[in-house]
Amino acid sequence: MPIKWVLYWQPNPGTTASSQIVNEVTQCVESMNGVKDGRWKSTLTFYKPIVRDQSQLSDFPRDFLGISLPEQPSKYFFIIRGQRLVLEADSSIQTIMEKLQSYKARVSLTFEGFQYQLGDFQLRVGKVSPTHSETLRGIVMEVEYLPISSVEKSRQVMEEFLDILQDSVSKRSLPGHFIHADSMFADYGLGDHYTSQHTAVQYAVVVAQVIASVQAGQGGRN
């Protein structure tokens, strides 16, 4: 599977992500000769355990996330950040969880937008919003390099492409920039050969940063 970096938009202090920034970023990609290639969508859900006795809550993982990825529609991925676990299951697991009433969805976030072909790269630019809501909470970008599936061998070409992208974005004087966070793949037992589990772990890291940015923005306005 081709290597992929999932980036998140870090707003400048006192600012927040907006639809206008999403539009500007997509224009940047198009100005780099990116060819629009349809829409994409992923959904990430925070789960909480259903317990009869509140004292049992400590027995369950607190940071329990599930995510569906468009490139693997028949799969569903779970991430338990505290224990550095990532699990791959059949997509029907969501129905099974509902029937067992062991966990329920606490909140879901949707990532959606347009994807672009740019030479050997595929880019996805999307907004982050609560499912069933138009409220924008953040901005993400997937950068996929199609010829390579090695995390280490692709690092230089990915860093060089990100520098070009950041330079293009910076010319628009937008109030923020994209960040690629270290996802600590080795801590999750993931190797150098890239898989969808690597993508799931990146989204878990990114969503934590998006939530932190929203809280910081709200704190700055209070």
HEC-encoded secondary structure of 84-97: CEEEEEECCHHHHH
Region label for 194, one of left (φ > 0), alpha (ψ between -120 and 50) or beta (otherwise):
beta
Distances (CA, A) of 137 to 16, 17, 22, 150: 8, 7, 12, 32
Encode pLDDT of 68-79 as tens digits: 999 999 999 999
The domain spans of the chain are 3-221
Q: In which band, very low, low, confident or very high, does the pLDDT at 218 lie, cut at 50, 70 and 90?
A: low
* Region of poorest pLDDT, from 48-52, 110-114, 137-141, 176-180: 48-52
Q: What is the pLDDT of residue 48?
A: 85
Mean pLDDT of 111-134: 94
Q: Give the CATH architecture of domain 3-221.
A: Beta Barrel (2.40)
Question: pLDDT (tens digit, 9 = 90+) per residue, 153-167?
Answer: 999 999 999 999 999
pLDDT at 213: 80
Condensed to tens digits (0 to 9), the pLDDT of residues 176-212 reads: 999 998 889 999 999 999 999 999 999 999 999 988 8
Q: Is the pLDDT of residue 222 over 50?
A: no
In this prediction the pTM is 0.91
The whole-angstrom distance between residue 192's C-alpha and the CA centroid of its chain comes to 20
Count Cα neighbours of 89 within 13 Å in the Cβ-side half-sphere. Answer: 16
